[in-house]
Amino acid sequence: MHVHFIVHEDFEAPGAYETWAKNQGHDVTYSRVYAGDTLPADAEGIDFLIVMGGPQDPATTREECPHFDAKAEQALIASAVKTDKAVIGICLGSQLIGEALGAPFAHSPEKEIGKFPITLTEEGSKDKMFSHFAKTLEVGHWHNDMPGLTPDAKIIAYSEGCPRQIISYSDRVFGFQCHMELTLDVVDLLIAHSEKDLSRAAEYRFVNTPEELRAHDYSEMNQVLFGFLDKLQAHYQTA
C-alpha cells in the first residue's frame, strides 16, 4: 500500500503513524510543505492519506504562512474521499477534513496540551473500528481547535476539555483531534516550539508542564492506534 503524509512542520512529526506504516512495509511518501514540497495533484495512486497537525488552522492564509495552502490541501482531501481512499487527519488535519467536506472548524472549549483521558461515546462503543479501545483511554493532546461536523459525522470520543476528539466521517475517513501518535522524541520537538504556551501551564486546566510531558508513557496509546490502523487497512483492502 501507498501511504502519503502531509507534514506541515518539522516538529509535528508523524510519530507512531510513520512507525506503523514502515513496520507494515508500505510505500511511504511525504509532502513536507514546510520544506517546500508540493502536494500531489490528486489522490491517484495513494491508498492512505494522512494529514498531520500544525500551529495553523484552516483559516490561516498564505500571507500568514506562505508554505501552508489550506484550499489546496482541502482539494486533495476531497479527491481522496471521492475516490474512496482511506483518509486520516490529526489535529489541524482533522479540521481540514471537516472543511473539505463542508463542515467549518470551531474553537475548542479548552486548550489541551499533555496526556488526558478521552471517553468513547455510545456511537464509538458500537463502532467495530474502536472495539479494542477502552471506554476511557489516556491519549496525547496539543490543540486549541476542533473539527467541524458534517450531517453524517459520528463523534467517536470526547474529552472533558473538547467535545470532538475522534470523528468518523465515513467508514474510511477519520479525524483525530487528539495525538495518539506522540512519542517521547516527538514530544521533545513540540516542547522546543511551545515555550510560550507551556510557560503558562498553570493558567489552564489541561496543560502539562514540560516535566510532566516528558514523564508520560505514550506506548499504550501507540499500540491502540496501531490496532485501529490495522483494522482500517483490513477494511480498505477487502472493501
20-43 pLDDT, tens digit each: 999 999 999 999 999 999 999 999
When pLDDT is averaged across residues 207-223 and rounded to a whole number, the result is: 98
pLDDT at position 11 over 90: yes
Half-sphere CA count of 73, side-chain side, radius 13 A: 36
pLDDT at position 196 over 90: no
Going by pLDDT thresholds of 50, 70 and 90, the confidence category of residue 185 is very high
Going by pLDDT thresholds of 50, 70 and 90, the confidence category of residue 51 is very high
User: Domains in the chain, ordered, with CATH?
Assistant: 2-238 (3.40.50.880)
C-alpha 93/C-alpha 72 separation (Å) is 13
Rounded to 10 degrees, the C-alpha dihedral 77/81/85/89 comes to: 50
pLDDT at position 161 over 90: yes
86-90 and 173-176 beta bridge pairing = parallel
To the nearest whole number, what is the mean pLDDT of the chain?
A: 97
For residue range 60-92, what is the model confidence (pLDDT) as tens digits? 999 999 999 999 999 999 999 999 999 999 999
pLDDT at position 197 over 90: no
